[in-house]
Amino acid sequence: MPDMPELPAPASDEPPFPGVLPLPRTPPPDGPPSAEVQERDSPTVRAAASPSPGSPAVVWVTRPRPGRIVGVDAARGAALLGMAATHVLPDFDSHGHLTWAFRIAAGRSAAAFAVLAGVALALVAARTPRPHLATLMRALCIGLVGLVLGETRTPLAVILVYYAVFFLLVLPLLRAPRWVLAAVAAVTLAGEPWLSQLVRPHLPAPITANPSFSTLVTTPGRLTLTLLLTGYYPALAWVGYLAVGMLVGRLDLRSARTAGWLLAGGAATAVAAKILSWFLLGPLGGRSAILATNAVLPGIGPMPPAQTARLLAAGLYGSTPTQSWWWLAVSSPHATTPLDLVHTTGTAIALLGLALLVARLGADGRLGRILLWPLAAVGSMTLTWYTLHAALLATDALPADPNRSYVLQVVVALVLASAWRATRRRRPPAAPPAPPPPTPGTSRSRPGGACRR
């Protein structure tokens, strides 16, 4: 699943945030500095007024620590492997029960990618002078890859074109205040399902095939409605995932306290959403009311009660039937109901918090980095592996047994991604630029060869 890559921290002479000029680390040669510069490992920039007239002002200039955040990459890698499990492994076992892989990963993995994409967008917005242009180009690239995959016979519901729409929709939010992001998240996650339930009966049926160049040319209007409202991953709802991720990305993700709060808060939110769904569907009679209606799934058709019960357990296709408002109490995978969106948002945040905590194990996080290295390597190149995964499933190159196929894909991804990341880390650093020639009449050393300090 694609998302914006986490960019490396800026070089020591670059401004930490757009619009904040770098201040000198040493006094200039012509006199003392007008400000004393100090650094802290905090994502904020603060300025303290001079304590007394004539004394130098203290300006707190903070810079992100160099390197990638291992926990973020590891969470992305875990989400990718979880999504691959839902694509390859069976949903039900031989006894008609949901498999554990499906119970754990279905719906949650794709949501985690969207939330983590928002985290990456927040990091890009803080470190890139022109994040809007970078995000726009990324969206166009992802959309192009998705349209190409749509021309293949891959059995997946490819999300790449939807992702391109997600990024386009959040372009105005890259530098938005936190309260705006919170409002967008609340309106989309809680309000879009109600709007969808109202308007979808009056809209054309969604395009069930993957978006492709042919559908883009022949039915652009219907494709637009599919991407925004009626498809597998309706963008008007899923943009809330990205808004939540952008809020999380503005936190201090290198803090153990932040990681702990993300894990605890996300888990509590996910459990609360499931409990509320159970209460509405069980004691309040929502499930009985749903099974009593003649449900019609968009793009699928009428469903008998037995099939409806199966879908309530295994999940839906991006939107619920509109014959009963009780459907909005469902929290099944890909139901795109308020409780499904809130539950999967919570699990995504909890996954990130857990990965950030594991990354801190050992002295200076050394043990955590070793444990998460392969997973983080996969998570640092999710677009590549998602594309290869979708393309391979369109061929006959993989083993027919789903367990062997999944294990093979996981092992290959972990090994090759780790090797690629290790190779990149071992590149020799670029040679420093040659010092400028001395100006006439000056000397770089004192008599006797003593170095100037």
- In sequence order, the 6+-apart residues with CB closer than 8 A to the CB of 61 are 16, 20, 22, 23, 37, 38, 39, 45
Assess whether pLDDT exceeds 80 at residue 112.
yes
- Span 395-408, pLDDT tens digits: 989 999 999 999 99
d(CA 60, CA 37): 6
Q: Identify the three-state secondary structure at position 232.
A: coil
The mean predicted confidence, pLDDT, of the chain is: 82
At residue 53, φ and ψ (nearest 5 deg) are: -60, 135
Q: Taking the CA atoms of the chain, what radius of gyration do you get in angstroms?
A: 26
pLDDT more than 90, % of the chain: 66
Assess whether pLDDT exceeds 80 at residue 130.
yes
Give the residue with greater pLDDT, 429 vs 95: 95
d(CA 104, CA 90): 13
The CA-based diameter of the chain, rounded to the nearest angstrom, is 98
Lowest mean pLDDT among 121-125, 191-195, 265-269, 307-311: 307-311
- pLDDT value at residue 20: 32
Q: How many CB atoms lie within 10 A of CB 78?
A: 23
Lowest mean pLDDT among 20-34, 174-188, 194-208, 352-366: 20-34
d(CA 276, CA 335): 15
- pLDDT value at residue 299: 62
Which pTM was predicted?
0.80
- pLDDT value at residue 6: 46
- pLDDT value at residue 435: 60
Q: Are 348 and 266 in contact, with CB atoms under 8 Å apart?
A: yes
Q: Residue 284 has which token pair? A: 């309040």
**Mean pLDDT computed over 107-135:** 93
- Span 24-48, pLDDT tens digits: 333 333 443 333 333 333 333 333 3
d(CA 419, CA 242): 30
d(CA 93, CA 49): 67
Assess whether pLDDT exceeds 90 at residue 168.
yes
What secondary structure letter does DSSP report for 349? H
- Span 348-385, pLDDT tens digits: 999 999 999 999 999 888 999 999 999 999 999 999 99
Assess whether pLDDT exceeds 50 at residue 65.
no
- pLDDT value at residue 72: 96
Give the residue with greater pLDDT, 1 vs 358: 358
Q: Are 157 and 398 in contact, with CB atoms under 8 Å apart?
A: no
Count CA within 13 A, CB hemisphere, residue 306. 1
**Closest by Cα among 408, 381, 380, 411 to 393:** 408
- pLDDT value at residue 426: 52
**Closest by Cα among 149, 112, 193, 102 to 379:** 112
Q: Provide the pLDDT confidence category of residue 439 given band limits of 50, 70 and 90.
A: low
Q: Are 176 and 126 in contact, with CB atoms under 8 Å apart?
A: no
Q: Are 83 and 1 in contact, with CB atoms under 8 Å apart?
A: yes
- pLDDT value at residue 433: 56
**Closest by Cα among 244, 245, 249, 253 to 353:** 253
C-alpha distances in Å from residue 325, one per residue of 197, 228, 308: 8, 21, 15
- pLDDT value at residue 436: 61
Q: Identify the three-state secondary structure at position 37.
A: strand
- pLDDT value at residue 118: 96
- pLDDT value at residue 311: 84
- pLDDT value at residue 293: 84
Give the residue with greater pLDDT, 435 vs 343: 343
- pLDDT value at residue 434: 55
Assess whether pLDDT exceeds 70 at residue 55.
no
- pLDDT value at residue 405: 96
- In sequence order, the 6+-apart residues with CB closer than 8 A to the CB of 388 are none
C-alpha distances in Å from residue 310, one per residue of 97, 118, 133, 294, 304: 10, 33, 44, 15, 10
- pLDDT value at residue 292: 87
**Mean pLDDT computed over 279-308:** 84
Q: Are 38 and 104 in contact, with CB atoms under 8 Å apart?
A: no
Q: Residue 93 has which token pair? A: 């076992």
C-alpha distances in Å from residue 20, one per residue of 7, 82, 337: 18, 40, 42
Q: How many CB atoms lie within 10 A of CB 264?
A: 13
E strand or H helix at 297? strand 296-297
C-alpha distances in Å from residue 258, one per residue of 65, 71, 355, 356, 379: 16, 12, 12, 9, 21
